[in-house]
Amino acid sequence: MATTEGNPRFRATRAGDAPAKAAVHRDPASAELRSRLEALGEDPAYRGHPLMAELERLAEAHLRLLRRLGKITRISDGFQGQLKALNEVLQLASRTDSLTGIPNRRAMMEDLHAELLRTQRDGGSMAVIMADVDRFKAVNDTYGHEAGDQVLVALAQALRGALRAYDVCARWGGEEFLVLLPATARQGALEVGEKLRKAAAALSVPAAETRVTVGLSVGLAVLERGESMDALIRRADAAMYLAKRQGGNRVEG
């Protein structure tokens, strides 16, 4: 006699397959099918009816499909999670300088653009600082490029440690660093610039059985009304070169 109660395969699916059972209950059409089959199987008028065997076969096929779809969904969800994590890692890497571990030029450009828009919208002030290591070529020529890299790594950490929590320091290129100072007027920028200069002067980096010290030329510029981001950076760069021409290890702007 073919009934839903008497078919051990259908009964096992109903009683022992929790994922399939959950899938059925999540799908209204599947739940309705199961309910109708159970009702028919309990109705004496349909017990032993040839159609019941076919209905049970179709129901089992449907549940097998649900199990497969559930497995595919779990695999897909796992893959999507891995893909999201990988994208986050790649996004972070694309914004990080590989040598020093601080933001790179691309990240700084994005942050500058966002801060410029905020300042123009809300008012207030912002400033940037361009800082360049004095006589860095001599460090590379005397102690080697590995020592030069060690100086840049140590300097990046020292500069970041001298900044406020909301300031941003990025490696702009070579031995140049650009610092974004949100909500900062000229006096505040001068104070931060001097802190950066002192942080660099305090460094003593081991290299080739000696220790390397460096100076830092610092130029700053405060955003003027209607000024573009490029113009602001150019003024900070010009101030930095003025500091170099005056002997280096100083702040101008």
Residues that are catalytic: 175
The DSSP annotation for 27-41 comes to -HHHHHHHHHHHHHH
Phi, psi of 127 (to 5 degrees): -140, 160
End-to-end CA distance of the chain: 96
Q: How far apart are CA 58 and CA 66, in angstroms?
A: 12
The type of residue at 70 is G
Beta bridge partners of 114: none
Spatial contact of 251 and 131, defined as CB atoms under 8 Å apart? no
Using the structure block, give the residue that is written with the tokens 């990025």: 170
Residue with tokens 């010290």: 213
Dist. CA 1–CA 3, nearest whole Å: 6
**CA separation for the pair 230, 234 (Å, rounded):** 6
- How is residue 213 annotated by DSSP? -
